[in-house]
Amino acid sequence: MYEAVARAIINSITGGFMYKREVVETVGLGNDYLSVPFRLNKIIRVYENDVIVYDTEPEDPTTWTNVREYYITPDKGSISVVMSGANGINRNQSKPVGTRKGASDSFTLYNTNDSPNYIDTPYDTKNFSTSVSGSPMFPNGWDYTVTVEAGWPIIPQDIKQATMLIVNDLKCNNIPYINSYIKNYKSDQFTLAFDDRVFKDTGNRIADKILSAYVRPIYRLGVL
């Protein structure tokens, strides 16, 4: 029971240390990285504009070929595309500026059969394309559905220590004055005033210091 309470307290502060499969629907922002709001460990599947382009668990491994390969960035917070070759390519970091189409001196104003004055690129379309010359790896407005394995395969050692501190406090009813965020104390009938943090955090300063290194993730922005 003490361990369950301690785990619930830690999960409420840090977001938890589970390991599970997550599915994220997001939109490309016109750069070379696709941020995923989890601690990534493995990429399972990627859909681009409703077309599957990467799958590590295909129904028929003998016939399936990935359109492109993805990898997890060192900070475990986003994915990017593996580039073939030793030198890679020079990739744009933003969406190209869409200039207005100039009028033609032919019969049609904006395009002619003899000499087109503009060329539509697949960048601004939802059409599936294996490559987009010069564009970012995740073009602006393209839809992505990513299945990943996220979380913590092993609980960090300092989190285990923080759990034991909380368990000992619960088990032994150990609430020393310094450790309980008491900001005012008077003898003669014991008038005590607790700091507000005692009701916000674990009530154990050492455990709070350990948990402060693990910020609770923000999965989706809401109305403030």
Inter-residue contact 130 to 50 (CB < 8 Å): no
Q: Output helix, strand, coil percentages for the chain, rounded to the nearest 5.
A: 20, 25, 55
Asked whether the predicted pLDDT for residue 17 surpasses 60, the reply is yes
Residue pLDDT, tens place only, 45-68: 999 999 999 999 998 888 999 988
Instruction: Kindly indicate the confidence band of residue 128, based on its pLDDT and cuts at 50, 70 and 90.
Output: very low
Residue 109, CA atoms < 13 Å, CB-side half-sphere: 4
Average pLDDT, the chain: 76
Inter-residue contact 40 to 77 (CB < 8 Å): yes
Asked whether the predicted pLDDT for residue 129 surpasses 70, the reply is no
Phi (first) and psi of residue 129, to 5 degrees: -145, 135
Mean pLDDT throughout 131-149? Answer: 79
In this predicted structure, what is the pLDDT of residue 168?
87
Which of 75-79, 112-116, 165-169 shows the lowest per-residue confidence on average (mean pLDDT)?
112-116
Strand boundaries in the chain, DSSP class E: 19-27, 34-35, 40-48, 51-55, 70-72, 78-81, 143-151, 182-186, 191-194
DSSP tag of 79: E
In this predicted structure, what is the pLDDT of residue 214?
85
Mean pLDDT throughout 28-33? Answer: 84
% the chain with pLDDT above 70? 61
Rounded to whole angstroms, the Cα distance separating 126 from 146 reads 17
Phi (first) and psi of residue 174, to 5 degrees: -90, 100
Residue pLDDT, tens place only, 160-177: 999 999 888 888 876 554
